[in-house]
Amino acid sequence: MKALASVLIVAAIAGGPAYAACSYPRAPANIPDGATATLEQMVAAQKSVKAYNDEIKAYTDCLKLEHEAAVTKEGDKLTKEQKAELEKMQVQKNNAAVDEAESVTARFNEQVKAFKTKSDKDKEKKG
């Protein structure tokens, strides 16, 4: 019963208004195929990936601030286990966001390589 109460308190804090402020950013909808994309499409994709990475940074910063605020606000009421659970949740959210951002960046970088390869071949044909 004590464990259930612990989980309910952590869920109430995590689901409360303090955590509603951190909005998970959406990944760029379309990363063009570098083998067929135009320079303008690649530049636009670069801007959207950079903006997304900036949004992920803001999101992870927000998670940290909200975690600190929750622990400060409820600190005296939380057990050591509840504080550890809040920390675990914050770390999981942070890591998931960073992993996704790294994946998006890696996909974009693959397409940049394909674009450069295509551009080099186009130059050889002209030259």
pTM of the entire predicted model: 0.77
Task: Please say whether the beta carbons of 43 and 87 come within 8 A.
Answer: no
Instruction: Report residues of the chain scoring pLDDT below 70.
Output: 1-20, 127
pLDDT tens string 10-31: 444 444 444 458 999 999 999 9
CA distance 34 to 98: 24
Q: What is the residue-wise DSSP string for 67-85?
A: HHHHHHHHTTT--HHHHHH
pLDDT tens string 84-95: 898 999 999 999
In eight-state DSSP terms, residue 30 is -
Query: SS3 for 121?
Result: helix
Contacts of 119 (CB under 8 A, 6+ apart): none
Neighbours of 66 (CB within 10 A): 21
- Quickly tell me which residue has 């622990």 as its tokens: 71
> How far is residue 81 CA from its own chain's centroid?
27
- Quickly tell me which residue has 């397409």 as its tokens: 111
